[in-house]
Copies of this chain bind each other. A is one copy, B any other.
Amino acid sequence: MRLIIAHERTDPARSDYLPALQRELLAVISKYVNVTNEEIKVHLERQENIEVLEVKIEIPQS
């Protein structure tokens, strides 16, 4: 499974919520898909005011 979040940081003064959002989204996903931390790879990229968070989740073949 791959989860990608791309958003434009319109207001730099506003706190960076992406890390917290990422933790909560992973908590929701782990309710549906049985994964361990080792199977989750997170990549955050910043280009000017665009932030792209990519989360790769290796789902064991059931």
Contact = CB atoms under 8 A, between A and B. Distances in A.
17 contacts: A1-B5, A1-B6, A1-B8, A3-B3, A4-B5, A8-B59, A10-B59, A10-B61, A11-B62, A14-B62, A17-B32, A20-B32, A21-B28, A21-B29, A24-B28, A24-B31, A25-B25
The 10 closest A-B pairs by CB, nearest first: A1-B7, A4-B4, A2-B6, A24-B28, A17-B32, A21-B32, A3-B5, A11-B62, A10-B61, A25-B28
Interface in A19-62: 20-21, 24-25, 28-29, 31-32, 59, 61-62
Interface of A: 1-8, 10-11, 14, 17, 20-21, 24-25, 28-29, 31-32, 59, 61-62
